Structure 1
Amino acid sequence: MKVSHYFEFESRVTGGIRESVAHQRKMLDRLGIEYTTEPTLEADVFHCNLLGPRSAWYARRAARRGVPVVANAHVTAEDFGDSFRFTNALARPLRPYLQWAYGLADALVCPSEYNRGVIESYVDVPTTVISNGVDREKLAGFEALEATYRERYDLEAPVVFLVGHVIKRKGLETFVETARRLPDVDFAWFGPLDLSLKGRETTALIEESPENCTFTGYVDDIRGAYAAGDVFCFPTHEENEGIALLEAMTAGKPAVVRDIEPFAWLEDGRECVKTAADAGVDAFVEAIERLADPDLRDRLGANAAARSEEFSLDAVAERYRSLYEEVV
């Protein structure tokens, strides 16, 4: 079997989608499935990760050639808003485009049951839930970087942290205001800032954040973020899955999350602390104060690490082989 595993805009897209594609290709390597990263219909399966215009062009012609099309449903109108400048304006017209584009596929891959529910409101195309997975090898040896990264960013334990692009949708305002309410606790958001791409409100939140709230910008070794952090504070309002959350769990870090549908699989008080879906800053302050207890952090972190094993690339990979065999 040969797969055309195409990632349109590969040189420009970063963040979780890029990580997911890297994970998929590692899984195909482990499965021994031959693939090319070039778009071609000289393959048994055309698999695209972003249904941009070029991917759609190939998908439409694949139907005529009898080549099955698999597409990952990374993007929804629901999670597109409150990301970068102009994304709110684009979110509404994005939905009808995605309905058309996803309708070109023979099978859609959804990273979570929540995402599948959203996608099934778009199109009547068979869906399969396959987690983005977590690359445990990428995090190997992270513990050794603790002192280096805490010294680099002047952080003192217990550190409340987040990893990923700094965008409003991920709960930026809650993160900043929680830090403001807890001036004796260090908060750090590890990830690209891209201020030129941010709206005025997002830029103001970053620039006017309190002294105990650090925005590191791009981190050369992401393992350092998980080494420096103690509590993963993820007040996102919308998420398809959340690779950074899976990585934090793999590193044994307890998380504070909202009780929203994407995180329904997490058990409050076992692997994480949950706040109400519409919780304000008070709830996050209370959760962080609870996790000042090192014994609670250790217990939740150990449970999180154990739970994360079901998302390892080895555990997920076989689902791609099954899907390809099914569509072929």
Structure 2
Amino acid sequence: MSLERSDTGSIPPDHAPVVSHYLEFESHVTGGIRESVAHQRKMLDELGIHYTTDPSLDVDVFHCNLVGPRSLWYAKRARSNGIPVIAHTHVTAEDFGDSFRFTNAISKPLKPYLEWAYGQADLLVCPSDYNRRLIETYTDTPTTVISNGVDLEKLDGFESLADEYRRRYGLEPPVVFLVGHVLKRKGLETFVELARRRPEIDFAWFGPLDLEMKGRDTTRLIRESPDNCTFTGYVDDVRGAYAAGDIFCFPTHEENEGIALLEAMAAGKPIVVRDIEPFSWLDDGEECLKVDAPFGDLDPFVDALERLDDPELRRRLGSNAAARSESFSLESIAAEYRTLYSEAV
């Protein structure tokens, strides 16, 4: 077993808990789950918590971030050996649909599988209160909430990239933008149609397209989008997205938390979100503009963007969002992992 630590990499003393911090399918997982795992490991390094990224029973705690077959194999044996099992609840049936090709068909049988799989853990870590309320309808396994957090260091110096990334993609401020995988669930149709309704404004979605993995509707929406709607594909430095964008518009229909949202807040961007339960913790008119818009109703989003034509409102909302994001910094939530593992052991 290869133990990892950021400073010396030394084998820990007997009294220090060792964690198997495992992400099944790690070489294939992208997006928010991968970011969350990177955040977790950065916090463990900074806390000096010793861990291996391999699935192992030669540990004090088995912590899996996906409940795939190999994770469950180890979880079952860990519990039989008295090793506490912690599982992250990144995946729900509710947020699985309208993502990639075939995910809608899989989402229905996925729920009973997750109900059983999450029941194999001793403790579930939920990234938000909303996710916790959802998971508590799946299983009676105890839950705790720890945010995915936002890595402020990753955004350092983002402002300096504004001109470069605007030139690269032909964008003129104020730019309405979004960051992350281009998924129908995240409000793709609303984003595209908003661009059509506001042809004088540039819209940009920074993130992987993966068209070969998308359904027919998603591909059509991307290919038939108006000229002022840019899909950049993968960007080599995500800081460029937050530098080039001015208004973060997130019309998603379902979200467990939303790391990109936290990053946009940390970058001081004014936020427009759909008024859904996952965002109940945000204060409308103070840290964001919430839009109560049934599916297909664009007018409330158009109204919100028109309000943000006012640069002073953009500045105030962005400043308040940045202040609120500080409580989600990795430095602010890291200690929760020390408590998590200590109590589990």
- The TM-score with structure 1 as length reference comes to 0.99
Is it true that 1:312 corresponds to 2:345 in the alignment? no
Task: Give the whole-Å Cα distance in 2 for the aligned partners of 1:98 and 1:111.
Answer: 16
Task: Give the whole-Å Cα distance in 2 for the aligned partners of 1:40 and 1:282.
Answer: 53
Task: Give the whole-Å Cα distance in 2 for the aligned partners of 1:161 and 1:302.
Answer: 18
Amino acid at match of 1:37: T
Instruction: Give the alignment partner of residue 11 of structure 1, picking from 16, 23, 27.
Output: 27
- Per-residue CA deviation, residues 59-106 of structure 1 (Å, 9 max, x unaligned), is 000111000000100000000000000000000000111111101100
Counterpart mapping for 1:1-328 below 5 A: 1-278=17-294, 280-328=297-345
Give the Å deviation of 1:320: 1.1
Gaps of 5+ in 2: 1-16
Amino acid at match of 2:289: V
Secondary structure, aligned partner of 1:174: helix
Amino acid at match of 1:71: A
Task: Give the whole-Å Cα distance in 2 for the aligned partners of 1:46 and 1:300.
Answer: 41
Task: Give the whole-Å Cα distance in 2 for the aligned partners of 1:113 and 1:259.
Answer: 16
Gaps of 5+ in 1: none
Task: Give the whole-Å Cα distance in 1 for the aligned partners of 2:78 and 2:115.
Answer: 18
Task: Give the whole-Å Cα distance in 1 for the aligned partners of 2:247 and 2:42.
Answer: 29
Whether the aligned pair in 2 keeps the contact of 1:108 and 1:125 (CA below 8 Å) is yes
Give the Å deviation of 1:209: 0.1
Task: Give the whole-Å Cα distance in 1 for the aligned partners of 2:293 and 2:140.
Answer: 29
Secondary structure, aligned partner of 2:262: helix
Task: Give the whole-Å Cα distance in 2 for the aligned partners of 1:105 and 1:76.
Answer: 16
Give the Å deviation of 1:277: 5.0
Aligned length: 328
Amino acid at match of 2:258: G
Amino acid at match of 2:242: Y
Whether the aligned pair in 2 keeps the contact of 1:260 and 1:277 (CA below 8 Å) is no
Give the Å deviation of 1:292: 1.1
Give the Å deviation of 1:314: 0.7
- Per-residue CA deviation, residues 97-134 of structure 1 (Å, 9 max, x unaligned), is 11111011000000000000010000011100000000
